[in-house]
Amino acid sequence: MEFKEYQQLAKTTAAYPEIKEKYVYPTLGLLGEAGEVAEKVKKIFRDNGGALDDDRRMMIKKELGDVLWYLSQIATEMNISLDDVAKDNIDKLKSRRDRGVISGDGDNR
């Protein structure tokens, strides 16, 4: 599936409470879902001795799907294409790699 198709399909499942700025709700949702991914990863170490098994992989996969949904909704509400986000991000990272600044701090390196 392409990002454009995903964004279109994801939008058909969006149901938010009434908030003036529609990107606020999915932004808060993204933070919650990212936290759930982190919790699942944490529990790999706490409960499973650091071993990633198929059950935990599937649980994380589901949470990553939720992260993708909320990310898609933020982009959609801001009229941003996820295809453009992905391309621009790869271009930025390649530039950093090529200039020898992939490590370090700051967005504008």
Mean pLDDT over the full length of the chain: 95
**5-18: per-residue pLDDT in tens?**
999 999 999 999 99
Tell me the percentage of the chain whose pLDDT exceeds 90: 92
Confidence of residue 106 (pLDDT cuts 50, 70, 90): confident
Residue 26's nearest CA partner among 70, 67, 75, 62 is: 70
Contact by Cβ (8 Å): 89, 3: no
Residue 107 has pLDDT above 80, yes or no: no
- pLDDT for position 102: 87
b/e string for 47-79 if b means 16 or more Cβ within 10 A? eeeeeeeeebeebbeebeebbbbbbbbbbbbee
Domain architecture of the chain: domains with CATH: 3-81 (1.10.287.1080)
Q: CA dihedral defined by 62, 9, 69, 17, rounded to 10 degrees? A: -120
Chain-centroid distance of CA 99 in Å reads 26
State the pTM of this model. Answer: 0.91
DSSP 34-78: HHHHHHHHHHHHHHHTT---HHHHHHHHHHHHHHHHHHHHHHHHT
For residue 60, the one-letter residue type is I
